[in-house]
Amino acid sequence: MVILGIDPGSQFCGYGIIEYKSLIGKIKNSHNYIASGRIAMPIKSPLIVRLRELFLSIREVIDEYRPDEIAIEKIFFAKGIKSAITLGQTRGVIISAVLIKHKTLFEYSPLEIKKAVVGYGKADKRQVQAMVTNILNLNHPISPDSADALATAICHANIKRRE
């Protein structure tokens, strides 16, 4: 199963793609890194322009990697009302880009994601980044946005394993 994880943001949106294999009869399952990246929207552009860029970029990622399932981080908190509204619009655009491609979308809170990857729901970004690097046996650096997106994909794979 190929899983796309998305860490939404109105300036930077992380994405990560893994292949998950359930190894019958084995205690450990296989999480294989496929790709990750960061969609950077032009900060000085109006929000509507950034949202359009995000919509098109998410569709391109879906077209290129053809994930079986997609997982996105839920909104946890925002610094203020304006930030919350902007993040809500960002998530709405991502959700629309996913649904227009007829893909199934799963949502997880930051607490669920951190607990699934690090074992502790209040882990910091460095801990998440380190565990993602370890789980996927990466030998190259990844951005915090990509690490969060890959963590979302790993969280989804771990939850699917239990079903």
Q: Mind telling me the catalytic residues?
A: 7, 73, 145
Radius of gyration over alpha carbons of the chain, in Å? 15
Per-residue CA distances from 134 to 2, 63, 102, 141, 147 (Å): 19, 28, 32, 11, 11
Locate 67 and state its tokens. Answer: 């994930």
Inter-residue contact 108 to 156 (CB < 8 Å) = yes
* Region for 119 from its dihedrals, namely left if φ exceeds 0, alpha if ψ lies in -120 to 50, beta otherwise: left
Query: Position of tokens 């690490």?
Result: 147
Closest CA to 105 of 75, 71, 54, 154: 71
